[in-house]
């Protein structure tokens, strides 16, 4: 199974830009900017040993502080692309970027101009597609803990300085104490400009956060959505309207959103007919890869290779990739499954893909 997963062409829909900085990348950035983050790989492993979600945010922001120049942004972005491509067979990725924490509009002496940030990620995106064949798109993410000022700035970045690869508008950071409905005007404006709504919701709060994201933010996909399993009416709504959940099993355990992998609600989602995609979130920080998340999903759902191919197709269809990219990647998955001699059913569980419609 590990060999099949490693070669399976994939789309990654829920992966954070800074959160994808591997120890190799962080070590390089820490060498450039000596300070609180160790550059020694062994000490970095200890630094990344999470206690809970609050500690994760602390570590994440420490790494954010290492990304200080456009050169850092470009290096980080291209090296993430390289690591997605090498050994993981990722063909398409939607990276969640948080430009607010790099531009720092309230502290211009520490931040960089949004124009420089945009140029850096776009240069890396084009280079990755040229060099690696990896298609990347961006989701601009509001850091919810920074409140409405951060949302105002993120919306401005998305509307007035949009990179060519921008496809979505998101909301991340801690959920507890951060009301989703305060960002309703920002999501309304982003959606009016043609951006897709992809907030995090229901990771460390209950189903009501997911309902709010659907009703007030117009969510088209839900980041995590772990607590949806607590609300049968919500599961039925997600299934009926084909609203995918971006599921990140290892992340949910690392941040204590779920007590253990054995208790993860992924099987509940699938049994309810909810569209699921498998993702890695902040993979190096959680000691995982997208390959590993597919293997975990296979164990939780009782999937064979054909079932894993179904999961890969579901992610492609749920993506905001251009239709030509979607069609090409689905065809590549079909060809890979066929060449592996694994064509047929999907074991004990059938993964239901979202509609191919873009409505």
> What residue ranges define each of the domains in the chain, with the CATH number in brackets?
2-339 (3.20.20.140)
Identify the CA nearest to 92 among candidates 320, 278, 287, 297: 320
pTM: 0.91
Q: Report the C-alpha gap between 80 and 29 in whole angstroms.
A: 13
Q: In the beta sheet, which residues pair with residue 171?
A: 142, 199
CA-based angle 197:199:201, to the nearest 5? 140
What tens digit of pLDDT does each residue of 85-97 get? 998 999 999 999 9
Side-chain half-sphere CA neighbours of 211 within 13 A? 11
| C-alpha 285, offset from chain centre | 13
Q: Report the C-alpha gap between 312 and 278 in whole angstroms.
A: 8
Is the Cβ–Cβ distance between 50 and 132 less than 8 Å? Answer: no
Q: Report the C-alpha gap between 241 and 277 in whole angstroms.
A: 15
Predicted pLDDT at 347: 41
Q: What is Dmax (Cα atoms) for the chain? A: 59
- Report the share of the chain in percent with pLDDT over 70: 94
Predicted pLDDT at 354: 53
Q: Could you count the other beta carbons within 10 Å of the beta carbon of residue 239? A: 15
- Report the share of the chain in percent with pLDDT over 90: 79
CA-based angle 169:175:179, to the nearest 5? 80
Among 134-148, 315-329, 338-352, the range scoring the smallest mean pLDDT is: 338-352
User: Which residues are within 8 A (CB) of 220 and not within 5 positions of it... i.e. 6 or more apart?
Assistant: 196, 197, 198, 243
**Region 54-63: what's the mean pLDDT?**
79
Q: Could you count the other beta carbons within 10 Å of the beta carbon of residue 7? A: 15
Q: What positions carry a catalytic annotation?
A: 203
Predicted pLDDT at 255: 86
Side-chain half-sphere CA neighbours of 242 within 13 A? 14
Q: How far is CA 96 from CA 99, 259, 325, in A?
A: 10, 26, 19
User: Which residues are within 8 A (CB) of 91 and not within 5 positions of it... i.e. 6 or more apart?
Assistant: 9, 10, 11, 133, 134, 135, 329, 332
Please write down the long-range contacts of 205-213, taking CB distance under 8 Å and 24 or more positions apart: 205/175, 205/176, 206/230, 207/231, 207/234, 209/175, 209/180, 210/234, 212/179, 212/180, 212/181, 213/171, 213/180
What tens digit of pLDDT does each residue of 2-39 get? 999 999 999 999 999 999 998 889 999 999 999 888 88
What tens digit of pLDDT does each residue of 190-211 get? 999 999 999 999 999 999 999 9
């Amino acid at each position: 199974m590990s060999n099949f997963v490693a070669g399976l062409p994939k789309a990654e829909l829920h992966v954070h830009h800074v959160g994808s900085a591997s120890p190799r990348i962080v070590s390089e950035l820490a060498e450039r900017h000596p300070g609180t983050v160790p550059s020694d790989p062994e000490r970095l492993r200890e630094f990344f040993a999470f206690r809970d979600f609050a500690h994760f945010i602390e570590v994440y922001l420490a790494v954010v502080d290492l990304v200080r120049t456009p050169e850092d942004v470009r290096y980080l972005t291209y090296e993430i692309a390289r690591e997605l491509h090498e050994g993981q067979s990722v063909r398409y990725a939607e990276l969640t970027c948080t430009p607010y924490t790099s531009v720092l509009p309230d502290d211009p002496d520490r931040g960089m101009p949004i124009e420089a940030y945009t140029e850096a990620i776009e240069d890396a995106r084009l280079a990755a597609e040229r060099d690696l064949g990896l298609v990347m798109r961006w989701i601009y993410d509001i850091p919810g803990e920074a409140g409405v000022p951060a949302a105002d700035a993120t919306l401005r970045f998305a509307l007035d300085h949009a990179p060519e690869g921008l496809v979505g508008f998101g909301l991340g950071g801690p959920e507890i104490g951060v009301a989703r409905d305060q960002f309703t005007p920002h999501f309304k404006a982003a959606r009016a400009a043609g951006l897709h709504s992809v907030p995090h919701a229901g990771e460390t709060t209950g189903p009501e956060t997911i309902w709010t994201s659907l009703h007030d933010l117009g969510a088209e996909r839900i980041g995590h959505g772990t607590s949806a399993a607590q609300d049968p009416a919500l599961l039925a709504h997600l299934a009926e309207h084909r609203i995918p959940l971006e599921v990140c099993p290892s992340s949910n355990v690392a941040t204590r959103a779920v007590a253990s992998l054995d208790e993860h609600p992924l099987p509940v989602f699938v049994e309810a007919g909810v569209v699921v995609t498998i993702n890695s979130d902040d993979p190096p920080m959680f000691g995982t890869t997208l390959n590993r998340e597919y293997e975990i999903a296979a164990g939780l759902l009782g999937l064979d290779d054909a079932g894993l191919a179904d999961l890969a197709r579901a992610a492609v269809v749920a993506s905001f990739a251009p239709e030509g990219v979607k069609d090409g990647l689905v065809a590549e998955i079909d060809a890979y499954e066929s060449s592996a001699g694994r064509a047929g059913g999907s074991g004990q569980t059938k993964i239901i893909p979202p509609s191919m419609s873009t409505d």
